Structure 1
Amino acid sequence: MTAPVLHDLTHQVTTGMPVYPGDPEVSLRPALTTDTAGVNVLSVHLGSQSGTHVDAPYHVDVTWPTLDGLPLERFTGPAVIADLRALPARTAVTPDQLAPALARVTPGTILLLATGWPRFWGTDRYLAHPYLTPEAAEAIAAAGVRTVGVDALSVDPTPDPGPADPAVAALLAGLADEHDTAPAAAEPVLAAHRILLAAGGGGVIVENLTDLTPLLEAQARDKPVSLSLFPLRLAAADGAPVRAVARVG
């Protein structure tokens, strides 16, 4: 009998690692050392959404459950992987593209979205990942999925931060004002997040997973795949970093 294989799906936490635009930067530095204190202790500064992490419903609505209000069952279970690796940058994922994966889910299944975007980790292109349409998020929730993971920065589109030079940004904004005849309609903010996190009294989203190709290959061979996504036990939190580990076989 072949022993199960474990796959670490967690980005290493390092100083200056990529974060969502506007989130706290990550910084690790020695707080104590054996030279002066007899022990090594690391000072860790990061945001709740740093690296590979989970979102609790409280992330998008203060009236929804915080991380410590969710059952542990939300963070572990069998997995089904949707292969979206052929999609171009900033592609909106539709229900039809998820249909083959959703046909395989059962109660307690974790749905993973494999976009292939980990290959752009640490580059500006990482922000241009595919994302879920509200209709796709509704289809996921309707299928009974309460935990969704993605190998990208977000299940919603990540805004382009635009030019770094303030003078260039001001110039572009002025040009846009000159050519706009009417204000653009407001788009729902984090629409897929809101749908998934509201599902079943409180859903979970896992973001910034590493390469899911080994799991897709295992799934193609009918090997069972399960996940553990347990977060740090932060009080009243909107989310927390996780050590995401998949078990194949």
Structure 2
Amino acid sequence: MAPTLIDLTHPLTTGMPVYPGDPEVELRPALTTATAGVNVLGLHLGSQSGTHVDAPYHVDVTWPTLDGLPLTLFTGPAVVADLRGLEPRTAVTAGLLADALERLTPGAVLLLATGWPRYWGTDHYLAHPYLAPSAARALVEAGVRTLGVDALSIDRTPDPGPGDPAVAALLADLADEHDGPPPAEEVGLAAHRVVLGAPGGAVITENLTDLTPLLEAQAAGEPVEVSFFPLRLVAADGAPVRAVARIG
């Protein structure tokens, strides 16, 4: 039987959801067959738009940029952690990932399936579960260098605007992790810094679509491979990807 290819990429469209404060996405005709004899689309978007990959440079200017990373980081056999059913803004602990970590092999890609794609395009999409920094450290120690999630971020995403109680909760979480107030640059990005700072380099793919077919294939014992190859942007913090799973 021929392998099945599954697209895990959100379409890039004008006005699509973006991380609070990121550039909005706009697609519009730059040239048309009516006026120039060809159709060419003009694109305005950020490096973190849609389904995208983060390079270490995303959180630290001294760490590798996207074009300095080996292609091997963007593909590999997948292990999917089933985190569906968690409450909004739940911290994903190392204990919740124990089964997935036991299945890891060298070069494997770990995918976090939260079920949050069902909220894509709604305000609730920002209230996704997030990776506790201690869990991020457990992943790195287990050898994970490629991490993907079907949510906006592996870290907590506060609601935009002042006075959000999630911000206070985030600061409290990070204070616990650091035994005191966290460094300002880690507010909201603690798990990013742990994963992307892994020895030898690491990448994070965010905004994947529904991972249920991969969980089903994994449960059936079928091999699952994923690829997240980014645009070849020079000195970039990240880039949109075409995320594809190969089952069988």
Q: TM-score, normalised by structure 1?
A: 0.90
CA RMSD after TM alignment = 1.3
User: Paired residue for 1:76?
Assistant: 75
1:143 and 1:200 map into 2 onto residues whose CA distance is 12
Aligned partner letter, 2:230: P
Aligned partner letter, 2:2: A
User: Paired residue for 1:196?
Assistant: 195
1:68 and 1:186 map into 2 onto residues whose CA distance is 34
User: Paired residue for 1:88?
Assistant: 87
Deviation string 1:25-51 (CA, Å, 9 cap, x unpaired) is: 000000000000000000000000000
Deviation string 1:70-90 (CA, Å, 9 cap, x unpaired) is: 000000000000000010100
**Pairwise mapping of residues 1-249 of structure 1 onto structure 2 (< 5 A)?**
2-162=1-161, 186-187=181-182, 188-189=186-187, 190-249=189-248
1:121 and 1:194 map into 2 onto residues whose CA distance is 25
Aligned partner letter, 1:73: T
Post-superposition offset of 1:200: 2.5
Aligned partner letter, 2:222: K
Deviates more, 1:85-94 or 1:195-204: 195-204
- Give the gaps of 5 or more residues in structure 2: 165-174
User: Paired residue for 2:170?
Assistant: none
Aligned partner letter, 2:34: D
1:84 and 1:76 map into 2 onto residues whose CA distance is 22
1:201 and 1:216 map into 2 onto residues whose CA distance is 29
1:204 and 1:52 map into 2 onto residues whose CA distance is 13
1:92 and 1:54 map into 2 onto residues whose CA distance is 22
The alignment partner of 2:137 has SS state of: helix
1:139 and 1:29 map into 2 onto residues whose CA distance is 44
Deviation string 1:149-188 (CA, Å, 9 cap, x unpaired) is: 00000000001113xxxxxx5xx69xxxxxxxxxx96443
2:235 and 2:200 map into 1 onto residues whose CA distance is 17
Q: TM-score, normalised by structure 2?
A: 0.91
1:137 and 1:143 map into 2 onto residues whose CA distance is 10
| Over 2 Å off, 4+ runs | 184-189
Give identity over the alignment, percent.
76
Deviation string 1:101-150 (CA, Å, 9 cap, x unpaired) is: 00000110000000000000000000000000011000100110100000
- Give the gaps of 5 or more residues in structure 1: 163-168, 174-183
Post-superposition offset of 1:202: 1.1
